Structure 1
Amino acid sequence: MKLSFLDLVPVVEGGTVGEALTRAADLARHAEAEGFTRYWVAEHHGMTGIASAATSVVIAHLAAATRHIRVGAGGIMLPNHAPLAIAEQFGTLDALFPGRIDLGLGRAPGSDQRVARAMRRTLETDANAFPQDVLELQSYFADDGQTGIVATPGAGARPDLWILGSSLFGAQLAAALGLPYAFASHFAPDALDQAMAIYRRDFRPSAHCARPYAMAGFNVFAADTAEEAELIASSQQQSFVALRTGNPRQLPPPVAGYRQSLGAQGNALLNQVLSCSSIGTAETVARDLAAFVERTGVDEVMVTSAIYDQAARKRSLTLTAQAAEDVKAAA
């Protein structure tokens, strides 16, 4: 079982963006020491609790803070950008950190339509152009002359390309292009099983991948006791409820008994959105990870968690790595 980590670089309540970025570098070093395969950050805009909007800049910050772990985007929302600009950005990253850069591509705006318009200046380029944008980006990296433009940097760069998704569209595109596929089951789990089946069924081998390679998101809140794990998970739970009710906020401190304080509607929301999750001790996490991998057949699990306290967050990663080793040993 390969483990990786997705960090939204949360800004904690009362904290600053600078502090969030410092914490991210510290956590990336810790994930590297614990044997995680890759460390990704995601493009989100207009959210006071997320500090990874300038995603390629954050990737450079994290790659410079680490030595060998792969670092990348999970993902870049390609409709927000000209493919040439992304080729130049990730060509630069690949030149600075050769063999370590991943480029996951998504088609969602990473924001609402108002912020998307501010990002793009026009919505004439939209998600429907995503497959063509991916092909254009690949052309710049391949330097095959199809665009008539040489991306400098970018031409000849070899970041690992991934297609991201939370619906069947991404699975179909990743299969058609013969690219690795990552499903966002950590917050949108409904189509997980169907998407994985479509991806494997329709996969066409390519120069990038000889066989399907799939990854899926999984929330993990691990602690030395079940009670502590429930406590540290409450910060992300509060954030999800706030986001889904139109009140996004910075990552709040944990609240004991938070789930018990919610009404039926709030608990139903969390049960659905966070169904791909494990909250508990290393033993619980090992059991849940094993069940998730058996269910999905994924080659890699992308762990994610927004935890208010940095020491608790690092401890959670350590226990998760231990749990994964226990799963391997039992296999």
Structure 2
Amino acid sequence: MGINIGSIRIDDPVILAPMSGVSDMPFRRLVKRSGAGLVVSEMIASQAMIRASRQTMKMATNCAEEFPMAVQLAGCDPASMAEAARLNQDRGAAIIDINFGCPVKKIVNGQAGSALMRDEVHAARILEATVKAVDLPVTLKMRLGWDDDSRNAPNLARIAQECGIRMVTVHGRTRCQFYTGTADWKAIRAVKEAVAIPVIANGDLNTFEDVTRCLEESGADGVMIGRGTYGRPWFIGQVIHYLRTGGHLPDPRPDEQLATLLEHYEAILEHYGIDAGVKIARKHVSWYSKGFAGSAEFRADVNRVSDPARVRTMIRDFYSPAIDRMAA
């Protein structure tokens, strides 16, 4: 089931999606350790990358154990996209990914993200400029189209292939759907049939059964998983094992989940600093806790605490009953 993205071989094409505010280095490192074939950074605005703000540079920061890592760029100006791609090549990215899929109003109003699916000529200029700017493989992430009346993903995929794009990922919704309804995996098959480069399916992949059905319906060469990894950095590794063997790896034991959460918490504090890190970590702590007894009360309480030492104690106390039951 492996794929080639230019000169880079991905033996298990189960990929961590780019997610703003989520797929930062601490999270990517955990997911990569579980066996992910490829991890992708948060979306970075090309103009912000060129200005090299401190926050933007942190979003693009990578480490050796993440290799290969893709940096995702968004923008509407071919020259700026090309320059941002060159900067990330120099900083150690293995792959440059272009965002034609973000549905957020701020991005779309700037004529970037999924807005580019409405102008194939200008989209081609961006694709071509970025490909020519770097020696790295360049990939594309997009949606099915702007709305149900303009599902042009197959044609845009052909244009991308002609411009030198090495892989296309398709989220099975239109821009106007945002994240409502359900992903249309069957519609991705038309993209797969339109091009010779690898096609990756994305959207609503939360269980092993979702992955199986998505691959069957889309004919895709692999999957990209986003929200299904919230609080479960080990899920992509489980999916890889499932696709290889047909077997279901159990979730980590409560004590193992606690150790992973505490490691993740410390990495966030180190990466962002205490003040920002405590706030950024809250969503992750909440996601990890789901499914355990008393999780709603725990989330409400821990999200009001700003002292890292107190948060650590609360986390340990929350997991303690489940760990004790396991040991009994």
Structure 2 unmatched runs, 5+: 1-11, 46-52, 146-150, 174-178, 248-328
The number of equivalent residue pairs is 212
Asked whether the equivalents of residues 183 and 216 of structure 1 are also in contact (C-alpha less than 8 Å), the reply is yes
Taking a change above 3 Å as real, the CA distance of residues 300 and 58 of structure 1, as seen in their structure-2 partners, is: farther
1:214 aligns with 2:225: no
Residues 66-215 of structure 1 mapped to structure 2, 5 A cutoff:
66-73=65-72, 76-78=73-75, 81-97=76-92, 100-106=94-100, 110-112=104-106, 117=109, 119=110, 128-139=118-129, 141-142=131-132, 154=133, 156-167=134-145, 168-178=151-161, 179=165, 180-185=167-172, 187=179, 189-194=182-187, 196-203=188-195, 211-215=196-200
Q: 1:54 to 1:304 in 2, by over 3 A?
A: farther
Secondary structure of 1:317 counterpart: coil
RMSD: 3.7
Q: Confirm or deny that 1:298 pairs with 2:298.
A: no
**Deviation at residue 35 of structure 1 after TM alignment:** 1.6
Q: Is the 8 A contact 1:43 1:110 kept in 2?
A: no
Taking the aligned partners of 1:171 and 1:56, their CA distance within structure 2 comes to 32
Q: Which residue of 2 aligns with 1:328?
A: 244
Instruction: State the shift of 1:165 in Å.
Output: 1.7
* Whole-angstrom CA distance in 2 between matches of 1:30 and 1:83: 33
Which structure is richer in relative contact order (CA contacts within 8 A, separation 6 or more)? 1
The residue type paired with residue 185 of structure 1 is G
Q: Give the whole-Å Cα distance in 1 for the aligned partners of 2:168 and 2:33.
A: 26
Deviation at 1:175, TM superposition (A): 2.1
CA positional deviation for 1:25: 1.7
Structure 1 distance, partners of 2:240, 2:101, is 31
Question: Would the alpha carbon gap of residues 94 and 126 (structure 1) be closer, same or farther in structure 2, given more than 3 Å must change?
Answer: closer
Distance 2:120 2:127 in 1: 10
Per the normalisation by structure 2, the TM-score is 0.53
* CA distance 1:131–1:109, shift in 2 (3 Å): farther
Contact 2:101–2:141 (CA under 8 A) maintained in structure 1: no
2:36 partner SS? coil
In the superposition, relative to structure 1, how do residues 37 and 54 fare at CA in structure 2: closer, same or farther (>3 Å)?
farther
Measure, in 2, the Cα distance between the counterparts of 1:306 and 1:291: 15
Per-residue Cα deviation, 1:214-245 (whole angstroms, up to 9, x for no partner)? 11224xxxxxxxxxxxxxxxxxxxxxxxxxxx
1:3 aligns with 2:22: no
| Aligned-partner Cα distance in 2 for 1:289–1:116 | 29
| 8 Å contact kept, 2:36–2:236 | no
What is the CA-CA distance between 1:59 and the residue it aligns to?
4.5
- C-alpha change, 1:90 and 1:58, in structure 2 (3 Å) is farther
The answer (yes or no) to whether the contact 1:217–1:303 under 8 Å persists in 2 is yes
Which residue is equivalent to 2:256? none
CA drift of 1:183 comes to 1.4
Contact 1:42–1:55 (CA<8 Å) still a contact in 2? no
Q: Hey, what does 2:32 align to over in structure 1?
A: 32
Alpha-carbon shift at residue 133 of structure 1 (Å): 3.8
Report the residue type matching 1:157 in the other structure.
Answer: D
Contact 1:108 1:127 in 2 (8 A): no
- State how far apart, in whole Å, the 2-side matches of 1:129 and 1:68 are: 33
Check whether the contact 2:200–2:220 (CA below 8 A) recurs between aligned residues: yes
CA 1:200/1:325 → structure 2, altered by over 3 Å: closer, same or farther?
same
Q: Call closer, same or farther: CA 1:330–1:213 in 2, change over 3 Å.
A: same
